[in-house]
A = this chain, B = another copy of it.
Amino acid sequence: MSEDIRAGEIAVTLPDTFDAGIYFIGRIRTPWTRREDCPKNARGSDAVCTVEVDERYAAALEGVTTCTHLVLLYFMDRARRDLLVQSPRHGERRGTFALRSPVRPNPIAMSVVRLMRVDGTRLTVVGLDCLDGTPLIDIKPYFPSVDSVPDAVVGERTKTSP
Protein backbone atom coordinates (compact mmCIF):
# COMPACT_ATOMS: atom_id res chain seq x y z
CA MET A 1 0.00 0.00 0.00
CA SER A 2 3.02 2.28 0.25
CA GLU A 3 2.31 3.60 -3.25
CA ASP A 4 -0.70 5.45 -1.80
CA ILE A 5 1.43 7.72 0.34
CA ARG A 6 1.02 11.52 0.13
CA ALA A 7 3.81 14.07 0.06
CA GLY A 8 5.36 14.41 3.50
CA GLU A 9 3.94 11.17 4.84
CA ILE A 10 6.17 8.54 6.44
CA ALA A 11 5.47 4.79 6.49
CA VAL A 12 7.17 2.13 8.60
CA THR A 13 7.80 -1.57 8.17
CA LEU A 14 5.66 -3.20 10.84
CA PRO A 15 6.89 -6.20 12.87
CA ASP A 16 6.43 -9.66 11.35
CA THR A 17 4.30 -10.91 14.20
CA PHE A 18 1.69 -9.55 16.59
CA ASP A 19 2.36 -9.32 20.32
CA ALA A 20 -1.18 -10.03 21.51
CA GLY A 21 -4.60 -10.95 20.20
CA ILE A 22 -8.02 -9.40 20.60
CA TYR A 23 -11.56 -10.71 20.34
CA PHE A 24 -14.33 -8.88 18.57
CA ILE A 25 -17.11 -8.76 21.17
CA GLY A 26 -19.82 -7.25 19.00
CA ARG A 27 -20.56 -4.89 16.11
CA ILE A 28 -21.44 -1.23 15.85
CA ARG A 29 -24.38 -0.25 13.62
CA THR A 30 -24.23 3.28 12.19
CA PRO A 31 -25.82 5.09 9.23
CA TRP A 32 -22.48 5.27 7.37
CA THR A 33 -21.39 2.58 4.91
CA ARG A 34 -18.68 4.53 3.08
CA ARG A 35 -15.70 6.20 4.70
CA GLU A 36 -16.41 9.51 2.93
CA ASP A 37 -19.89 9.65 4.49
CA CYS A 38 -18.67 9.41 8.10
CA PRO A 39 -18.88 12.66 10.08
CA LYS A 40 -15.54 14.47 10.30
CA ASN A 41 -15.73 14.20 14.07
CA ALA A 42 -18.14 12.61 16.49
CA ARG A 43 -19.19 15.93 17.95
CA GLY A 44 -20.68 16.81 14.58
CA SER A 45 -23.05 13.91 14.75
CA ASP A 46 -26.21 13.49 16.78
CA ALA A 47 -26.89 10.27 14.93
CA VAL A 48 -28.35 7.49 17.04
CA CYS A 49 -26.25 4.34 16.65
CA THR A 50 -26.60 0.81 17.97
CA VAL A 51 -24.00 -1.34 19.67
CA GLU A 52 -24.75 -5.04 19.29
CA VAL A 53 -22.90 -7.07 21.92
CA ASP A 54 -22.41 -10.78 21.23
CA GLU A 55 -24.68 -13.00 23.34
CA ARG A 56 -21.56 -14.70 24.73
CA TYR A 57 -20.78 -11.51 26.67
CA ALA A 58 -24.32 -10.58 27.71
CA ALA A 59 -23.68 -11.03 31.44
CA ALA A 60 -20.91 -8.39 31.32
CA LEU A 61 -23.55 -5.69 30.73
CA GLU A 62 -24.90 -5.99 34.28
CA GLY A 63 -24.99 -2.50 35.78
CA VAL A 64 -24.24 -0.66 32.53
CA THR A 65 -27.59 1.11 32.76
CA THR A 66 -26.28 3.07 35.76
CA CYS A 67 -23.89 4.92 33.40
CA THR A 68 -24.93 8.04 31.52
CA HIS A 69 -21.83 7.82 29.32
CA LEU A 70 -19.57 4.99 28.15
CA VAL A 71 -16.13 4.66 26.62
CA LEU A 72 -16.22 2.43 23.55
CA LEU A 73 -13.12 0.87 22.02
CA TYR A 74 -13.50 -0.46 18.52
CA PHE A 75 -11.30 -1.77 15.75
CA MET A 76 -10.96 0.21 12.53
CA ASP A 77 -10.46 -2.95 10.53
CA ARG A 78 -10.29 -1.23 7.15
CA ALA A 79 -7.47 1.16 8.05
CA ARG A 80 -3.85 0.68 7.00
CA ARG A 81 -1.47 0.46 9.96
CA ASP A 82 1.90 1.58 8.63
CA LEU A 83 1.74 5.41 8.51
CA LEU A 84 3.71 7.29 11.18
CA VAL A 85 3.30 10.79 9.75
CA GLN A 86 0.12 11.76 7.94
CA SER A 87 -0.95 14.69 5.81
CA PRO A 88 -4.73 14.89 6.18
CA ARG A 89 -6.46 16.42 3.18
CA HIS A 90 -7.77 19.25 5.33
CA GLY A 91 -5.18 19.77 8.02
CA GLU A 92 -1.52 20.07 8.73
CA ARG A 93 1.02 17.25 8.62
CA ARG A 94 1.29 15.51 12.01
CA GLY A 95 2.60 12.38 13.61
CA THR A 96 0.06 9.59 13.97
CA PHE A 97 0.17 9.84 17.78
CA ALA A 98 -0.91 13.51 17.50
CA LEU A 99 -3.90 12.56 15.32
CA ARG A 100 -7.17 10.70 15.87
CA SER A 101 -7.00 9.21 12.36
CA PRO A 102 -8.03 5.53 12.14
CA VAL A 103 -4.68 4.92 10.42
CA ARG A 104 -2.26 3.85 13.19
CA PRO A 105 -0.16 0.81 14.19
CA ASN A 106 -3.05 -0.45 16.32
CA PRO A 107 -6.21 0.92 14.69
CA ILE A 108 -8.20 1.02 17.91
CA ALA A 109 -10.56 3.98 18.21
CA MET A 110 -11.84 5.41 21.51
CA SER A 111 -15.15 7.25 21.63
CA VAL A 112 -17.13 8.67 24.52
CA VAL A 113 -20.83 8.05 23.90
CA ARG A 114 -24.05 8.98 25.61
CA LEU A 115 -26.05 5.88 26.57
CA MET A 116 -29.71 6.29 25.63
CA ARG A 117 -31.13 2.81 26.16
CA VAL A 118 -30.24 -0.82 26.78
CA ASP A 119 -32.43 -3.57 25.33
CA GLY A 120 -30.87 -6.92 26.17
CA THR A 121 -27.53 -6.90 24.34
CA ARG A 122 -28.34 -3.85 22.18
CA LEU A 123 -27.15 -0.46 23.39
CA THR A 124 -28.52 2.70 21.81
CA VAL A 125 -25.89 5.46 21.91
CA VAL A 126 -25.08 8.91 20.54
CA GLY A 127 -21.56 10.13 19.71
CA LEU A 128 -20.10 7.76 17.13
CA ASP A 129 -18.64 8.50 13.71
CA CYS A 130 -17.49 5.08 12.51
CA LEU A 131 -18.49 2.84 9.63
CA ASP A 132 -21.44 0.49 9.90
CA GLY A 133 -20.29 -2.98 10.96
CA THR A 134 -17.20 -1.81 12.86
CA PRO A 135 -16.04 -4.49 15.32
CA LEU A 136 -16.45 -3.63 19.00
CA ILE A 137 -13.67 -4.56 21.41
CA ASP A 138 -14.55 -3.00 24.77
CA ILE A 139 -17.14 -1.06 26.77
CA LYS A 140 -16.15 0.87 29.92
CA PRO A 141 -17.98 3.22 32.29
CA TYR A 142 -16.97 6.88 31.81
CA PHE A 143 -15.81 8.50 35.06
CA PRO A 144 -15.52 12.30 34.82
CA SER A 145 -13.17 12.29 37.84
CA VAL A 146 -10.42 10.70 35.74
CA ASP A 147 -11.66 10.94 32.13
CA SER A 148 -12.86 14.55 31.86
CA VAL A 149 -10.33 17.35 31.35
CA PRO A 150 -12.37 20.31 30.08
CA ASP A 151 -9.37 22.64 29.75
CA ALA A 152 -7.08 20.29 27.82
CA VAL A 153 -5.59 21.85 24.69
CA VAL A 154 -4.39 20.48 21.37
CA GLY A 155 -2.43 23.36 19.91
CA GLU A 156 -1.56 24.34 16.40
CA ARG A 157 1.95 23.53 15.35
CA THR A 158 4.03 26.61 14.71
CA LYS A 159 7.39 27.18 13.07
CA THR A 160 9.01 27.01 16.50
CA SER A 161 7.35 23.79 17.65
CA PRO A 162 9.58 20.74 17.60
A residues with CB within 8 A of B:
10, 12, 14-15, 17-25, 41-43, 53, 56-71, 73, 75, 77, 84-85, 93-100, 104-106, 108, 110-112, 114, 118, 127, 135, 137-157, 161-162
Contact = CB atoms under 8 A, between A and B. Distances in A.
Given A67-B98, A69-B152, 16 more contacts: A10-B59, A12-B59, A25-B105, A41-B146, A66-B157, A67-B155, A69-B149, A73-B73, A73-B106, A73-B110, A99-B140, A108-B137, A143-B152, A143-B154, A144-B148, A147-B149
Complex A-B, nearest 5 residue pairs according to Cβ-Cβ distance, in ascending order: A18-B21, A62-B95, A63-B98, A66-B155, A97-B139
- Oligomer: number of copies: 2
A145 B43 contact: yes
Contacts of A17: 21
Contacts of A66: 98, 154-157, 161
Main secondary structure of the interface of A (DSSP, over half): mixed
Given A84-B59, A146-B42, A106 B22 contact: yes
A148 B150 contact: yes
Given A23-B14, A64-B98, A69-B149, A141 B112 contact: no
Nearest to A12: B56
